[in-house]
Structures are given as structure tokens and as C-alpha cells.
Structure 1
Amino acid sequence: MRAHPIPPVTEPLQFRAIGLVRGIYIPTDPDQLTRGVLTDCNGLELEAVVLGRVLTLMRRYLAMDQSHLWVVYPRCRDSDRLHLQIVGVWEPSTLAPNQDAADDTLPHSQGDDYFSVRGELIFTKPETGEMAVKVRQQPRHGGKRPLPFKLSIKGELSQKHLRHFVSLDLRRQGQELYLEHHEVIAPMPSRGGRFKGARKQVTARKSR
């Protein structure tokens, strides 16, 4: 079992959008766990679906009337609502009971409502604190690559970073993701695969 729910990246231009949300998952249909709502500690309901082997964990090991720390993929289907795809649960004390060192504590950077988003900055409006990042997904079985998706984020990034690959540390507040820190990795490759410049820029900014 790995040490943290969100692993470090393995490539400089590795796309991803993943986060942690603590809450109670309630399926829309008790007989079908795949679709429902994730109710956080403030009583806010977040639209959610369950993917893959998490269904087995839910049925066999988890008390579904209790709050858990879920590993999720964020999506923005509507401009004012967050959609979550549940892909895991971080609860070593429950899922690895035979490991003496099983520990549910997290590093400060990966606490509740933390999100890591890495992708291409395609829109930014610093005067209103709005921005958007495009994230490309890995090919699925059969070699078909899913379409990229866009995430809307609250925060300030200069327009000079448009068309650059960025790494963002975000924190969820309600239905929105707010920028805490960012790193500008490099300009996006041109069609020939080369970068327009090789300088790496590193900056950090707290959310408002």
C-alpha cells in the first residue's frame, strides 16, 4: 500500500486531475451504487459516480452510513456545480487491518478537499479570478484516447502563461476549486513535439 492517496508524478508533463473529499456517499438507488451524491461535512451535496473496484470495497468493507475520505476525479459539467468520479477511498486502518503501521494521517498538502490538477492553461482572467485548464486523459483499453476535458478554477494567473503546462494545488470550497499554489512547467509542445522555449518558471500564490 502506498504512503499517500495521491502519488507523486512520474513525468514533467503528466496530466492529471485528482483530489480528496471527505463525506458520506448516498446512492440514488440503494440497489445500484454507481450513481448518487457525496454529502460533505457541511451538508453540501456533490454529484458523484462510482468507478471500478471501489464498488467491491463499498460492499465488503465500508460502513456506508459513515463518512470516508474518498479519492475522486473532478469534472465541471455545469458552470456552477462540481461532478466527482469516485475512484478510491483512503482508509488504511480499515482496508489494511493486518498492517501494524496502517495510518490514516495525511501530509498537510494532501488534507481534506485537496486537489492536484496538471494540464494546459487555456483561459485566465486575473481581474475576475477565473481560469480554466484542459486535461488530457490516458488511452483506455483498446488504444482509444478519451476526449480532453476542461476544469474551471477560481484563482489568478497571468495571461502570459496561456498555452503553458501548469501544475496546480487547489482546495475545494463548496462547488468550486480555488487555487492555493501553482507551478508553470513549460510552454505546451508544438505539433512537432518541440517546446517554444525551455525556461521553467516556478511561482506560488495563495487563493484570495
Structure 2
Amino acid sequence: MRDHPISSVTEPLQYRAIGIVRAKYRPNDPDQITRGHLVDANGLELEAVVLGRVLTLMRRHIDLDKPHLWVVYPRCREADHLHLQIAGIWEPSTLCEANLQKDDSISLEKSSKIICDELPEGDDYFSIRGELIYTKPESGDLVIKVRQRSRPNGSRPLPFKLNLKGSIPLNCLRNFVNLDVRRHGSQLCLEDHKIIAPMPTRGGKKRGEKKAIVRKGPRKPIQ
């Protein structure tokens, strides 16, 4: 079993937008639980959809009347509208209990060594990596462009943009950044950032590099 729901970075320019939210999931329709809202401890409702691979787990092992730590992908359809895609649940104690029910050979000693459900980053932590395409330090507005991996059929989904609150200097525009973010209400707020590298241009050069100028001499007249 993995010891963290957010995997380690394997490439310097690895895009991602993933986080964890502790909340109750309330489906819009009890018979169709794919769409609904995550309701946090303050009663705030966040629009959410459940990705297919999580449905079986939710139906068989998860008590929707209780809060859980959900693994989510954030999206911003509008500037102040946070939408979440539920990709998993971080609750080793529940998952270990489900495995015990399937396999009686697992000893009680092993089952007692359950990884804690809490995470060192705390609740509502998000890891976002992408290109900084907008920053306005005086108002604390940021926009990050995130590219997604190619699908199995070879097609690549369109990149998406995330609106954040925080301050990054203007001279960091068009750089690839690694952000530690915390959800406050319906906003994602910057806690820490690291500049990874300038974004390459289509010609392969990094932004800010000047292209070499090749001067051609006058053409010779045709004899």
C-alpha cells in the first residue's frame, strides 16, 4: 500500500494538479452518485464529480454519511468557481479492513500496523505544477496552465487553467513552477512556490533567449 496519495515527481517539468479534501460527499441523486457536492466541516458545498474507478469503492466500502479524505483533481470553470473531480479516497484504515474481509489469512498483527489516515501536509493541501501565465502581485491573482498526459489512444486533452490566490513576482512569468497550495473555502491559496525553469518555446529555445541573426550578402546578378 502506498504511504501517500500524491506520488513523487519523476520529471523536472512534470505537470499536475492534485489535492486532498476532507468532506462528506452528497450525491445529487441517491441512485446516480457520479455527480454531487463535497460538503466540508464549515458546510461549504463544492461541486464535484466522481471518476469511474472510484464508484465501486464508494458503493461497497464507504459510508457517505461520514466525512472522508478525498483525493481530487481541481478545475476552475470560472474565476471563483472551484470544481473537483474525485479520483480516490485516502483512508488506509477502511481499505485495510476491506482487504481483511477478502483475505482471512492476513494476521491481526499485520492489520494493526495500519498507516495513519492523517497526512503530514494536513487537510485541503494541493500540489500544482505548471506554467505561470498570469500574475498580479498587487491583487494576489495567479493563473497556472496545466497540461494533461496523452490518452491511451494517443490523443492529448486540451490544457486547462487554474485560478489561484497568491503573490509571485512578474519576472517569473512564463516559467514552470511548483506550488504548494491550500484550499480556503472555494479558493486555492498559495503557501509556497519554487521556480523550476523557463518554459521552452516552439523553436526549442527558452524564453528570453535571442535568436542568432544571419545576415545575407547581396545577391549576385544573373549573368
Identify whether the pair has TM-score above 0.5, normalized to the shorter chain.
yes
Q: What residue ranges of structure 2 are gaps of 5+ in the alignment?
A: 101-110, 209-223
State the partner residue of 1:201: none
- Indicate yes or no: 2:153 matched with 1:147: no
Structure 1 residue identity aligned to 2:177: V
Call closer, same or farther: CA 1:56–1:124 in 2, change over 3 Å. same
Quote how far apart the aligned CAs of 1:76 are. Answer: 0.5
Call closer, same or farther: CA 1:42–1:12 in 2, change over 3 Å. same
- Indicate yes or no: 2:61 matched with 1:61: yes
State the partner residue of 1:92: 92
State the partner residue of 2:45: 45
Q: Could you list the per-position Cα deviations for residues 44-94 of structure 1 after superposition, in whole angstroms to 9, with x for gaps in the alignment?
A: 000000002110100010011110000000000122111000000000000
Alignment of 1:114-153 (within 5 A): 114-153=125-164
Quote how far apart the aligned CAs of 1:193 are. Answer: 3.4
State the partner residue of 2:34: 34
| In 1, Cα distance between equivalents of 2:52 and 2:204 | 34
Q: Which stretches of structure 1, 4 residues or more, deviate above 6 A after TM superposition?
A: none
| In 2, Cα distance between equivalents of 1:66 and 1:81 | 25
Quote how far apart the aligned CAs of 1:196 are. Answer: 4.7
- Structure 1 stretch 117-126 or stretch 75-84: which is displaced more? 75-84
Quote how far apart the aligned CAs of 1:181 are. Answer: 0.4
SS at match of 2:128: strand
| In 2, Cα distance between equivalents of 1:91 and 1:132 | 31
| In 2, Cα distance between equivalents of 1:59 and 1:41 | 23
- Indicate yes or no: 2:206 matched with 1:195: yes
Quote how far apart the aligned CAs of 1:7 are. Answer: 1.3
Q: 1:101 aligns with which of 90, 95, 113?
A: 113
Q: What residue ranges of structure 1 are gaps of 5+ in the alignment?
A: 198-208
| In 1, Cα distance between equivalents of 2:50 and 2:165 | 26
Quote how far apart the aligned CAs of 1:194 are. Answer: 4.2
8 Å contact kept, 1:4–1:106:
no
SS at match of 2:112: coil
Task: Please report the TM-score for the alignment, with normalisation by the length of structure 2.
Answer: 0.85
| In 2, Cα distance between equivalents of 1:59 and 1:129 | 41
| In 2, Cα distance between equivalents of 1:57 and 1:194 | 46
